[in-house]
Structure 1
Amino acid sequence: MTELPTALRSAGRVLVAVVGLIVIGSACTGSTPHVARPSVRSATPGAAGGGDVLFPALGNGGYDVSHYALDLDYVPETNHLKGTATITARATQGLSRFNLDLAGLTVRTVVVNGVGAHFTLKKNELTLTPKRPIRSGRTFKAVVEYGGTPKMFEGSDGSIEGWIETDDGSTALGQPSGSMTWFPGNHHPSDKATYDITVSVPKDEDGDPYDVVSNGKLVKEEDRDNRVSRRWHAKEPMASYLANVSVGYFEIHKGWTSDDLPVYVAIDPDEAEAAEDAKDLEPEVIDWAIENFGPYPFSTVGAIIDHLPGLDYALETQTKPYFYEAPEETLLVHELAHQWFGNSVTPRAWKDMWLNEGLATYAEWLWQEDQEGKPAQKTFEEYYDGTHPDSGGIWSFPPADPPSGARVSDAPVYGRGAMVMHKVRETVGDDTFYDILHTWTNRYRHRNADTQKFIALCEEKTGKDLSEVFETWLFNAKKPVST
């Protein structure tokens, strides 16, 4: 497969799934104020889709998830997955029934608040009808037992997401919809939750154990007889598309940053030599990013450097970005910058992806400016005049207004998104620009935010009307006549 430019191989690669046996599912809504306690009789179905402009079917309405406890049993030799998902959520309306997104697997049982519930699974919509309606504002638990052979989606350009088999196991990549292939949930970035992910895997035919790597901190390890089990705890909220489980043979490298953050890097032996520099560089990049963007937002940092030649993008999976091969320096910077921009501060809707990708791409420019002596202005000019290798197609639509979900990872979201950031920096000056970045990552830490909130923050920090800058570079599809 032809390798994509660095920016388009990066974290925000959003795929449009081929609709065959699997059809992309539903959407999510934010919480609504609790005004009055309704009676059970006022309960209504939660929405099977939250109306995201670009992906209207992703997620579900009527509740907010606070925690996922996923207990998975996986057999690499047969690619068979068995799971129990315990989902803790709060009803944002009286619920007579509600939906979860799940694709390609079979549901065995469903229990809501300790009582068996009626359920149907059609296309990607798992509809749960509890014995008694759930009152608005009430916290409830849904337990779903499921299993089967997890699927992957293939996009129109040949890129893949979902549960992907590797040469020695598997990995799960979820942007935008792939997470529904391995656990039921409210799969929209506006509904973030904490996670406990436990994976049990039999040893291989030679009796050798597989490694199991996931988000957050490794809190429990078991190696008994012919099985291994690993439990990972992600204590900070995470959008479901950032959840990952990688099973295979890895060399595990542990260390610390200068700020005493634990570092956990898993490297496929086939990439060990090529990845040596990336392993050593990661703590340095984190220290640099903390200075530029603010405190690191999570309790652990790391990476998964796999060997998956059929893939052509990296993904900013939370706390441990996933690379299909040893990453180039700027790609490592890009994915680690996403821990601030996209993972901690997460877009409220998919059309706000330029905030993720524009800021992460601009982080590459800043790194080159600081470490290599190449001014960000020079990179900006290369994008403007089309001489930069990643500048193709950047004027095809405004970064903040992708025409469809199929285009949400195209060049304007990355390159022109970074150009917007550079024009803001040029307009407000370095001191105010970095103040904006630090305030953005602090004010919306572990929350959702959107384009209007970013513009409002920029104007708050400057006391100026910046509408001309954003109209010219963010919202206008045409190339400005001059820089």
Structure 2
Amino acid sequence: MRRSRAWVAAVAVLALAGCTDAVAPAPSTSASTAASFAAGAEGAGDPYFPTYGNGGYDVGDYDLRLRYDPARGELNGTATITATATQDLSRFNLDLAFLVARKVTVDGRAATSRSDGNELVITPAAGLASGAAFTVVIDYGGKPQALNNKTLGVGGWLTTRDGAFAIGQPESASTWFPVNDHPSDKATFSLAMTVPGGVEAISNGVPGARSTAAGWTTWTWRESNPLAGYLAFVVIGQYRVRVGTHAGRPMIIAIPESLPATGNAARALDRTGEIADYLATRFGPYPFAAYGGVVLDDDRVGYALETQSRPVYGNTFFRGSANATVVAHELAHQWYGDSVSLRRWQDIWLNEGFATYAEWLWDEHQGERTVQESFDRAYANFDWSIPTGDPGVDHLFSEAVYVRGAMTVQALRHTIGDDAFFALLKSWPAEHRDGNASTEDFIAAAEKASGKDLGDFFEAWLFGDRKPTY
């Protein structure tokens, strides 16, 4: 994510709400004893956001068949979720905010469900044995809303004059589909979104067949690489959608009809392929099956977000120029943040530090300031009081994460040398492709690549509260 300078957000610490006590299970056909069955945790256990996500299972795929009526503001449809139990489950939760589950089945059998705040609590007809694959089908709907926390900001489903969109970090998906909403549980994703004829619906991945019947059009999308919940998006409205190819893969650019067809936003996004190709020389092969970008002409969105395969940009970035630097930032996330995702939110510098560093690389590539000049400008007058490697919830999107993170990357380059450094920039996303990783994993990778003990280096640059020696 890249935020415009006019947009400031902070996040609030949420209360721990785990649920791991054993409960009486429904009858099970597994060999597990009844006493072993328990409810899945009500959170993924993230130290920053304990209630985000859920425990007890691992999602493999989301398949959404939805219909949105902009005139009524209603979203209805079916989510089919395939998953695997990671414990003997008597019940489990999915994250679902504001919408109502009308009918739930697990493996074709009716299940009971209830809403508990933003949690959908599901009890299957029979307990699910650890290691068992299962399928949940949820018929649900209602009038989706945004998540509006006074310190976290607004994210999730937002209605517009001609449609709606759903984006946001660190959570948004739960406002429009049932989800295990934590980056540690990634899954493939399909969307069939039916909207009134003449209205566009853009999402992640490769576009599929489009059909129109009785005045309604169904747009289909498929992301075959696992994604974190907050990286799923949908944008509905009046858009100029340009479909092409780049490097043999679909390239979809969507610009609102409210903006000029050849204006700054369009000219910036037209460089998507060029920028992605340059970043591939630094980070290795592009990790997804599609390219593109979507612009939102909405003052509520003062940021850009690295939604997988197709970033979404607030038009605020393009009001003064065809800003290609923000495009470089969000495309860098396709490697650092999307393909290789966080294991816990405190490690967000692995996303934002490297994406900011990609801005510096791109500026140098364009003949503007060098990477070292960008570093020197940041290093000269910086507040080092916030640790990059553990910034706290209130500073999750602060300069300590973005700029100090990028300075850490450049300092690492000088410490281990260009050969080891640029090899590491490629080996890291290659070795962790479609997975999750932590700061500790990166430190180990950097030490392996360089053959050096880097404990003191990372302690100073990521966790110290005073200016590191450079």
Taking structure 2 as the reference length, the TM-score comes to 0.92
Does the aligned pair in 2 maintain the 1:83–1:147 contact within 8 Å? yes
1:331 aligned partner: 326
Describe the SS at the equivalent of 2:103: strand
1:263 to 246, 251, 264: 251
Distance 2:413 2:222 in 1: 37
Instruction: Give CA-to-partner distance per residue, 1:51-99, whole Å, 9 cap, x none.
Output: 2010000000000000001111101122111121111000011101111
Alpha-carbon shift at residue 362 of structure 1 (Å): 0.3
Does the aligned pair in 1 maintain the 2:2–2:330 contact within 8 Å? no
Describe the SS at the equivalent of 2:3: helix
Taking structure 1 as the reference length, the TM-score comes to 0.89
Pick closer, same or farther for the CA change 1:26–1:169 going to 2, 3 Å.
Answer: farther
Alpha-carbon shift at residue 154 of structure 1 (Å): 2.7
1:365 aligned partner: 360
Alpha-carbon shift at residue 433 of structure 1 (Å): 0.8
Does the aligned pair in 2 maintain the 1:28–1:187 contact within 8 Å? no
Question: Residue 251 of structure 1 aligns to which amino acid in structure 2?
Answer: R
Matched ranges for 1:76-225 at <5 A: 76-156=70-150, 159-203=153-197, 209-225=198-214
Distance 2:146 2:380 in 1: 38
Distance 2:245 2:112 in 1: 48
Describe the SS at the equivalent of 2:195: strand
Describe the SS at the equivalent of 2:220: strand
Does the aligned pair in 2 maintain the 1:50–1:57 contact within 8 Å? yes
Question: Residue 297 of structure 1 aligns to which amino acid in structure 2?
Answer: P
Question: Residue 461 of structure 2 aligns to which amino acid in structure 1?
Answer: W
Residue 306 of structure 2 corresponds to residue 316 of structure 1: yes
Distance 1:357 1:156 in 2: 23
RMSD: 2.3
1:58 to 52, 60, 63: 52
Describe the SS at the equivalent of 2:188: strand
Distance 1:92 1:351 in 2: 24
1:298 to 278, 282, 288: 288
1:450 aligned partner: 438
Describe the SS at the equivalent of 1:100: strand
Alpha-carbon shift at residue 256 of structure 1 (Å): 2.7
Describe the SS at the equivalent of 1:341: coil
Pick closer, same or farther for the CA change 1:97–1:15 going to 2, 3 Å.
Answer: farther
Describe the SS at the equivalent of 1:121: strand
**Larger relative contact order, structure 1 or 2 (CA cutoff 8 Å, min sep 6):** 1
Pick closer, same or farther for the CA change 1:17–1:465 going to 2, 3 Å.
Answer: closer
Instruction: Give CA-to-partner distance per residue, 1:339-389, whole Å, 9 cap, x none.
Output: 000000001011110000000000001111121241111111111123xxx
Instruction: Give CA-to-partner distance per residue, 1:193-225, whole Å, 9 cap, x none.
Output: 00111111123xxxxx10010000111201123
Does the aligned pair in 2 maintain the 1:25–1:58 contact within 8 Å? no
Matched ranges for 1:420-431 at <5 A: 420-431=408-419
Does the aligned pair in 2 maintain the 1:167–1:308 contact within 8 Å? no
1:234 aligned partner: 223
Matched ranges for 1:247-258 at <5 A: 247-257=236-246
Pick closer, same or farther for the CA change 1:28–1:377 going to 2, 3 Å.
Answer: farther
Does the aligned pair in 2 maintain the 1:159–1:311 contact within 8 Å? no
Does the aligned pair in 1 maintain the 2:11–2:152 contact within 8 Å? no
2:399 aligned partner: 411
Does the aligned pair in 1 maintain the 2:10–2:152 contact within 8 Å? no
Q: Which runs of 4+ in 1 moved over 4 A?
A: 12-15, 23-29
Identity of aligned pairs, percent? 42
Distance 1:169 1:315 in 2: 19
1:3 aligned partner: none
Residue 69 of structure 2 corresponds to residue 75 of structure 1: yes
Distance 2:46 2:415 in 1: 32
Residue 278 of structure 2 corresponds to residue 284 of structure 1: no
Alpha-carbon shift at residue 14 of structure 1 (Å): 7.1
Question: Residue 247 of structure 1 aligns to which amino acid in structure 2?
Answer: I
Q: Which moved more, 1:460-469 or 1:62-71?
A: 460-469
Distance 2:366 2:408 in 1: 22
Q: Which moved more, 1:247-256 or 1:281-290?
A: 247-256
- Return 5+ residue gaps in structure 2 as ranges: 21-29
Alpha-carbon shift at residue 477 of structure 1 (Å): 2.1
2:389 aligned partner: 400
Describe the SS at the equivalent of 2:400: helix
Alpha-carbon shift at residue 285 of structure 1 (Å): 0.1
Question: Residue 377 of structure 1 aligns to which amino acid in structure 2?
Answer: Q
Distance 2:54 2:86 in 1: 12
Describe the SS at the equivalent of 2:158: strand
Does the aligned pair in 1 maintain the 2:147–2:172 contact within 8 Å? yes
- Return 5+ residue gaps in structure 1 as ranges: 1-5, 30-35, 204-208
Question: Residue 298 of structure 2 aligns to which amino acid in structure 1?
Answer: L
Residue 369 of structure 2 corresponds to residue 380 of structure 1: no
Q: Which moved more, 1:415-424 or 1:376-385?
A: 376-385
Distance 1:37 1:281 in 2: 57
Instruction: Give CA-to-partner distance per residue, 1:125-160, whole Å, 9 cap, x none.
Output: 111111110111000011111111111123436842
